[in-house]
Amino acid sequence: MTLIQSLILGLVQAISEFLPISSDGHLNLFQHFFKLTPSLDFDIFLHAATFISVIFFFRHQIKYFWDNLKYIIVGSIPAALVGILLKDQIESLAGAPQLLPFFFLLTGILVFSTKFIPAKNKSLNYLSAFVIGIFQALAILPGVSRSGCTIFSALLLGLSPQAAFNFSFSLFIPATAGAILLSAKDIVSSNFITLNNILTFIITSIAGVFILSAFQKITINRKFWYFGVYVIILALSLFFIL
């Protein structure tokens, strides 16, 4: 992989990790067009960069995390179980680009449908946290957006856009930390720690902070559904391209 390819993939990760368009799906798509073999370990390496972005962005929200820790734990259970039990199957799906249009289409439909969900302001509870966690587990499939699924389900369950945004990325932290820990040995043994990748890691982390800030404003202003139009068009196009 060249430095240019690595940087492009890093920027794709920074943009698509936080926007509801699926980072795994876009990474697999770009690797396919670059004629690179999709690598779950490389994807997780880039996820580690955007993990740093989230930690930095939410550095002043310690009280929110502490107050909602019990819900974050409950919401993290489904993705943890799927990640541990189905890691090999997920990696095989990452190497099947022909499935991406179907998964992208699912993302697009969920995200676009938020346009028709009326604004509410219900409180988070154990049941809603677990349901949102189930939707997060769906995002292990490449092309299914994690933020798309979690924010869609949170809005559907009556959370406000701000609460949906905050809880979505609260769940991101343990889910990504767990994926990094599970793949840490493979990442180190696969020689990912190169000068090119370190540069990509830094740029991805910085870009992620700006994207996350912009996405927060978009979500609060209830323009989240716009991304559904893009993903549906992308999915329909890929049925003919792939």
Residue 39 is predicted with a pLDDT of 72
Give pLDDT, residue 87: 64
Q: What is the pLDDT of residue 88?
A: 65
pLDDT given at position 184: 67
Q: What's the pLDDT score for residue 187?
A: 62
Residue 77: the pLDDT is 93
Q: What is the predicted pLDDT for the residue at 191? A: 67
Sign, CA dihedral 79-128-146-166, equals: negative
The stretches in the chain having pLDDT less than 50 are none
- Contact, 200 vs 9, CB < 8 A? yes
pLDDT the model gives residue 114? 95
Residue (of 94, 90, 119, 77) closest to 38 by Cα position: 94
pLDDT for residue 128: 96
Locus of tokens 């830094």: 202
How confident is the model at residue 99, as a pLDDT?
A: 82
